[in-house]
Structure formats: C-alpha cells, structure tokens
Structure 1
Amino acid sequence: MPTELRPSTARLLQCIERLYESRNQSVRVLQVGACDGKRFDPLFRFISTHKGVSGVFVEPIVEYFDLLVKNYQHIPGARFFNVAISDHNGISNIRLVDPEAILNKTVPEWAVGISTLERNRNAIDGILISEDNFLKIQEKTIERSVSVVEVNKFVRESHCEDYDVYLSDCEGHDYTILSAMDLDKFHPEVIFAESMLMSNKELSEIQSKLQYYGYEFEYDDADLIAYTKAVASHEAVVE
C-alpha cells in the first residue's frame, strides 16, 4: 500500500474532517460500490474511529456485501443495500472475478474491487493491467444477475437527500451514475468518485455539471472530488 495519499483522497479526508468538526461530530455518507468496506477503502479508518459518522452502504456482490455488514456492524445507524446503482431500474448482468479465486490467491487481491456493469472499460477487459494479470483474471471471470436501482430513485427511497458525502467506486460506471444524478434534489457537500476509467470527454462533462451546481472540482490520476464553496472556504490547498 502507498504511504502517501493521492491528492484527491487527501482532499476527501480534509473535507470530511471539516464537516465532522462543523456539524457537531456528525457526518452521513452514501457510498456506492462499497465492496467489503475495508480493503482499499479511503474512508474505513475515518468511519471506524469517529463516532457520529454513519451512512448508507451499497454493494451488489453478495459475498462482499456480507463482509461489508460485518465490518460496519459496530456503526450505529448504518444501513446496507445489496443492489447495483445505475441510470435505470431492473436486472443487469455484472461481471466479477470469482471470489473463491481471490480467497485462494490465484489472482491478485485487488481483483476484489473490479466487479463491473460495463464492457471494455476496466481491468476485467485488460484495461490498465499487465497481460499476465489479465490472463489470470480472464480465467476466473464470472457473470451474475443483480438488481439495479436508478440513482435518484435510490436516493429518494433510502432517504439520503440531505446526506453530506457521496462516494463511489463503480469500475467505469461512475460516469453513468453522476450523469443521471439530480443535483437539484441531492446536493451533498462532497462528491468523490473514481475517474481513471472515464474518457477525457466524460470527465469534462462531469466537471462542467458539478461546477454548474457550484462545486469546486479537482481530480488526479485515479479519482475526482467536488466540494461546495462552504467546505472549500475552510480548506488549505492540497500540494
């Protein structure tokens, strides 16, 4: 694991710390694609060590969903949903690396986090990984049907409209979700999402949308972060 945080992750933690201090030590998070809540997760330590932080955690892969519930069972008020989030409702096929292969260490551990609704956008299709790892993953890739809920319907029905932080890691599907998100009705103080699998055009579209709604916008080689001016006014610039 890297010892230094990426700029976007450092900014995320700064923003959440500020929200935590300014809101009587209470922050609510909506996390989509939460996996098991622990491995490779930028918020696990903060959530686990700060009383008053809670939220809604969404994960479509049942094996990781069960671990997610276990890892966050000590968080008062936490709620968990075993669905995928998208721009439509229904049933979709999701591809993933067989959890047994990860458990048996026949593929890299990071394969736990590459389940995707997309095609030809992430590591399951060899994007941004070595040929050797791609061949290992390809042999262990499986497909399942999962329930899908449209993002605005989910926010409304799970009563997340006034949540402070939105966080997603959806392996190429973040663009679809952010494009569909109704920021007139759901306007979190902080939005953090994987951007490394977006095209330049897609990233530019999301930047324009978020800035239109009054967010400050930053990104690095992995993720984007947007935050309101109220949060920005209290933050130092990340070098």
Structure 2
Amino acid sequence: MPIWTQGLSSFNIDTILKHANEIPEIADSIVENLVECTSFESLTERYNISRIDLIQIDTEGYDYEIVKTLKLDNFKPSIINYENKHISMKKQHELISYLSSYGYKMYCNGHDTLAYLGCMNSL
C-alpha cells in the first residue's frame, strides 16, 4: 500500500473506504481504535484559554460536525480553516451560512475553506 495510507484516519469508515478505487485492499487494512475525545469548549476551559487566533480542522470527513460544535458566541478566532473535500454541498452551504452569521467571510480554495474575520489584507 502507498506510504500516505499509513497516516489515513477518520471518525467515519466510509470516508476511508472512498479510497478503495485507488487502493483495492484498503478495507482489509482498516484498524479500528477507540480514541478519547474532548470538545473545543472543554479544552479552552481546562487550559484557561481566553483567545484563539486560528483553528485548523482536517478530520477526514468529520469537519462539518467539528465546526458546528464551535461555540462562536464565546470565542471568535480570526481564522477557521477546514477541509471541505468530504462535506456534501448541502452541508458546505450550511457551514457557510453558519459562519457568515457570526461575521465570517469565506474563501474556498480547492479542498479547503477559509473563514476569516476582517479583510484578507490584514491576514
């Protein structure tokens, strides 16, 4: 199997299986592990974080769910960047509406979406 597959992981097995056309034996190589998860809000409380400048999200198919859990009333990072590759068009539009409602402007570049506050010149 290609070396890049060693780092491939997702909360959603279907996202991994989408690579079967490139790697026919991928289903036989999947290993399921339970991982401890925590919310963004829990992390900020635990470590007494009062300001966030950048959030980078690349969770191979779970980006929509992660973005939707962000409590943007409490924190408004200047930049939120997430991978849109595995998000349906309907959910992409939902995220754009959600983030826009908090004042974010959006820039889509290939498989990534950049949500930012202010103007691009200041980034």
TM exceeds 0.5? Answer: yes
Which residue, out of 185, 206, 211, partners 2:95?
206
1:110 and 2:25 matched = no
Structure 1 residue aligned with 2:21? 131
Hey, what's the Cα distance between the residues in 2 that align with 1:155 and 1:226?
A: 20
Q: Tell me the SS of whatever aligns to 1:179.
A: helix
Structure 1 residue aligned with 2:62? 173
Q: Percent identity?
A: 26
- Offset, 1:186: 1.6
Q: Tell me the SS of whatever aligns to 2:37.
A: strand
- The structure-2 alpha-carbon separation of the partners of 1:224 and 1:132, relative to structure 1 and needing over 3 Å to count, comes to closer
- Offset, 1:180: 1.1
TM-score using structure 1 length: 0.47
- Offset, 1:132: 4.4
Moved over 6 A (4+): none
Structure 1 residue aligned with 2:117? 228
Q: Tell me the SS of whatever aligns to 1:210.
A: helix
Contact preservation (8 Å) 2:78, 2:116: yes
Which residue, out of 163, 166, 184, partners 2:73?
184
Which residue, out of 39, 46, 68, partners 1:157?
46
- Offset, 1:130: 5.3
- Offset, 1:233: 4.4
- What is the root-mean-square deviation in Å for CA atoms of aligned residues? 1.8
Please identify which structure carries the higher strand content.
Answer: 1
- Offset, 1:221: 3.0
Contact preservation (8 Å) 2:107, 2:115: yes
Hey, what's the Cα distance between the residues in 2 that align with 1:148 and 1:197?
A: 21
Unmatched runs of 5 consecutive residues or more in structure 1: 1-106
Contact preservation (8 Å) 1:166, 1:188: yes
- Offset, 1:152: 1.8
Q: Which has the larger radius of gyration?
A: 1
- The structure-2 alpha-carbon separation of the partners of 1:151 and 1:187, relative to structure 1 and needing over 3 Å to count, comes to same
Hey, what's the Cα distance between the residues in 2 that align with 1:139 and 1:166?
A: 34
Q: Tell me the SS of whatever aligns to 1:205.
A: helix
- Offset, 1:166: 0.4
Hey, what's the Cα distance between the residues in 1 that align with 2:3 and 2:49?
A: 32
TM-score using structure 2 length: 0.87
Q: Tell me the SS of whatever aligns to 2:74.
A: coil
Q: Tell me the SS of whatever aligns to 2:12.
A: coil
Q: Tell me the SS of whatever aligns to 2:36.
A: strand
Contact preservation (8 Å) 1:174, 1:194: yes
